């Protein structure tokens, strides 16, 4: 009788907890604490009001891509200028001797080394897209340039290659610049629309807690590390996606220069290539900003990653 009551109580508690997460996701687009999410939300609201006041002579209308981003949680676009600058970056990368670190990341500040190219890319549609999506100016928190490749059949997806959501602030935009072409064979990122992602994350919150409570001790050789728990959650999410037959978007382009912007809490996976395929991309983490700056001013920073995210009080 005691164990029955305990099980009913724990199920009720887990249901309340997952419902709470769903409410946060629907309001703030983030699973973070309500207090912190509210701070990011209010900061973005102030940024929008200041931007509207300072640009009141101009009527900014959302573009097709910014509407897609706000409705679906992602959008892609490109043009000849962006394609040309990405080709220039690839050419410079090939001329460098061993530019990658042990984790396949560019071993210097990409924003500094390829400053001219990135300023041109932002001048040719990216800057406008971000402002139209945010309805405010923006701040580049960090920028990483990396490559994905695979030389062994034994290698399996891990980390960001598994289905997951980042869990960051709802106001954060992940902006990917694909320097190489992208398709299924070279690991183009897969993403599930926001309306479906919300349901999956709510289901995951409850299912993961039940799994931890009831079945974890039955799992053999489980090492209880942070990465082991993360992989367990990713695998459970993958099962839900398969069972529900959730459709995902995976962009394809025969040319360089696709811009792939997405919300960090849309369920996504990527970077796992076929044998001998390669994908080289830049990923920017971008936040709304109350401070209006030019593109040149934005790229005065090295954009090196020092921590996972900025607190609201640290945003400019």
Q: What is the CATH number of the domain that holds 224?
A: 2.60.120.620
**pTM of the predicted model as reported, rounded to 2 decimal places:** 0.91
The helix or strand, by DSSP H or E, that contains position 288, with its residue range, turns out to be strand 278-289
Task: State whether the Cα torsion 150-155-156-158 is positive or negative.
Answer: negative
- Report the distance separating Cα 230 and Cα 212, nearest Å: 12
Q: Among the listed ranges 75-79, 147-151, 296-300, 301-305, which one has the minimum average pLDDT value? A: 147-151
For 38, the domain range is 2-314
- Report the distance separating Cα 70 and Cα 165, nearest Å: 17
Query: Does pLDDT of 96 surpass 90?
Result: yes
Closest among 80, 58, 60, 77 to 68, alpha carbons compared: 77
pLDDT tens profile 257-287? 999 999 999 999 987 888 888 999 999 999 9
CB 301 within 8 A of CB 111: yes
pLDDT tens profile 176-212? 999 999 999 998 999 999 999 999 999 998 888 877 7
Give the pLDDT band of residue 85 (cuts 50, 70, 90): very high
113 phi and psi, to 5 degrees? -65, -40
Q: What value, to the nearest 5°, has the Cα angle with vertex 124 and ends 119 and 130?
A: 85
244 phi and psi, to 5 degrees? -85, -5
pLDDT the model gives residue 2: 47
CB 286 within 8 A of CB 140: yes
CB 315 within 8 A of CB 43: yes
Give the tokens for residue 103. 């984790």
Query: Does pLDDT of 311 surpass 70?
Result: yes
Count of structural domains within the chain:
1
pLDDT the model gives residue 255: 95
pLDDT tens profile 21-32? 899 999 999 999
Provide the β-strand partners of residue 191.
Answer: 249, 268
Give the pLDDT band of residue 160 (cuts 50, 70, 90): confident
User: How many of the other CB atoms lie within 10 Å of CB of 108?
Assistant: 15
pLDDT the model gives residue 57: 60
């Amino acid at each position: 009788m005691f164990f029955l009551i305990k099980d009913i109580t724990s199920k009720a508690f887990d249901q309340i907890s997952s419902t709470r997460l769903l409410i946060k996701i629907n309001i703030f687009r983030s699973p973070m604490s309500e207090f912190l999410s509210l701070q990011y939300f209010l900061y973005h609201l102030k940024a929008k009001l200041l931007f509207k006041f300072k640009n009141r002579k101009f009527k900014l209308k959302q573009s097709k891509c910014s509407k897609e981003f706000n409705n679906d949680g992602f959008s892609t676009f490109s043009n000849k200028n962006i394609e040309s600058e990405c080709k220039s970056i690839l050419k410079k990368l090939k001329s460098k001797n061993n530019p990658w670190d042990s984790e396949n990341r560019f071993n210097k500040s990409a924003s500094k080394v390829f400053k001219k190219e990135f300023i041109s890319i932002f001048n040719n549609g990216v800057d406008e897209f971000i402002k139209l999506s945010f309805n405010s100016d923006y701040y580049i928190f960090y920028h990483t340039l990396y490559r994905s490749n695979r030389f062994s059949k034994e290698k399996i997806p891990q980390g960001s290659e598994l289905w997951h959501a980042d869990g960051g602030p709802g106001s954060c935009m992940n902006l990917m610049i694909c320097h190489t072409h992208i398709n299924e064979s070279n690991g183009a990122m897969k993403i599930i629309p926001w309306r479906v992602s919300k349901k999956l994350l709510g289901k995951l919150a409850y299912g993961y807690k039940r799994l931890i409570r009831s079945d974890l001790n039955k799992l053999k050789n489980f090492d209880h590390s942070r990465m082991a728990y993360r992989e367990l959650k990713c695998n459970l999410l993958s099962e839900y996606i398969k069972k529900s037959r959730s459709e995902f978007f995976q962009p394809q382009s025969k040319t360089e220069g696709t811009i792939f912007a997405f919300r960090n809490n849309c369920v996504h996976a990527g970077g796992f290539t076929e044998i001998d395929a390669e994908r080289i991309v830049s990923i920017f983490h971008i936040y709304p900003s109350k401070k209006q700056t030019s593109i040149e001013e934005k790229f005065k920073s090295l954009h090196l990653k020092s921590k996972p995210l900025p607190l609201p009080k640290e945003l400019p």
